[in-house]
Amino acid sequence: MRDLLLGREPKDFDVATDATPEDVKQVFRNCRLIGRRFRLAHVHFGREIIEVATFRGMHETTSDQAQQDSENGMLLRDNVYGTIEEDAMRRDFTINALYYNIGDFSVVDYADGLKDLQAGVLRLLGNPEQRYREDPVRMLRAVRFAAKLGFTINPACEKPLFESGDLLDGVPSARLFEEVLKLFLGGTALHAFEKLRHFDLFRHLFPETDESLSHEEQGFPITFVIRGLKNTDARVRADKPVTPAFLLAVFLWEPVRQRMQQLEAKGESRHDAMMEAGSEVIGRQVSRVSIPKRFTLQMREIWNMQHRLEQRGKRAIRLLEHPRFRAAYDFLLLRAESGETDLALAQWWTEIQEVSEERRIEMASATGAGGKKRRRRKPRKRPAAE
């Protein structure tokens, strides 16, 4: 409803009803119940899934068996059902408490959501500190909606963002991964990143990256991440494919690069240092934000190929056929643009993709293993015959 009123195309439609998940499953045979914290019904129609939620109600007592809280007030289970009015008042933000009644095609507003929508204000329902404590992910949602919609955050809802970031440390890493995808793959990654840094929330998602960004090295770290986010946003706006692996590789590159340099200083080869550094950084990162193995494998390939791309030479032609070449090449461009590696190197790889096969062989033959152009040897002068 929110996106329709803003003139945007909704990504999906959620259905809310007074029927319980079990009732929905009895009506639709192609229904599957999911979730423990919030019980939901997923009704399958081919490849489409319609998410059906039952109206949530208010908790009269904290001993209610359907509600379970952690020690810090975070809601672990919440399956108390109620009326549409109660459900509206339990939503996170007023602009998300708008309902479209298919019975009479009207907009149902119990929380002044329309007023906030028109004013461009993001406001939590209820006490902000309590609502963030119930579900710390609401802090990330506040940042995401503010960045996505261009809204300002209500001052009373903004203040706790500076003070409550530690609550995110108790959120399951798998859930944070899903939120990271929503934050950075929606076309407003740069704005979201800036707001997360502003509220000191980014360090709770990527602690090593945040720490590395506080130590500039000729401006490389901050420039590199920002360029990566701009690149992701541009691809989303152009309706080009984006992969979480590339974005995550960008986020973790600086910690990996710094660790790799430390290992090289101890005598390890470039290849071994890169492998070890990648494993260490990813190993620590997944304890905070889980990253599926299918993405970590791609991240490692992108990182490991950077050294190979720096070599050029005759092996370059074979490298062009690598399934991860394009992602690694784009990654190299970002490094060159941020000043981390030679811009001429990136231009060489750009050119060799565009020329004929014959010209590729010439370019590859003109460079040695280290990537430098070979100098033509002058023919030796034979001594004059006596």
Catalytic residues: 12, 14, 92
Q: Other C-beta atoms within 10 Å of 38: how many?
A: 14
In sequence order, the 6+-apart residues with CB closer than 8 A to the CB of 308 are 315, 319
Cα 236 to Cα 147, 163, 242: the distances in Å are 15, 32, 7
Which structure tokens are listed for 111? Answer: 């929380």
Find, among 169, 155, 158, the residue nearest to 72 by Cα. Answer: 169
List beta partners, residue 122. Answer: 153
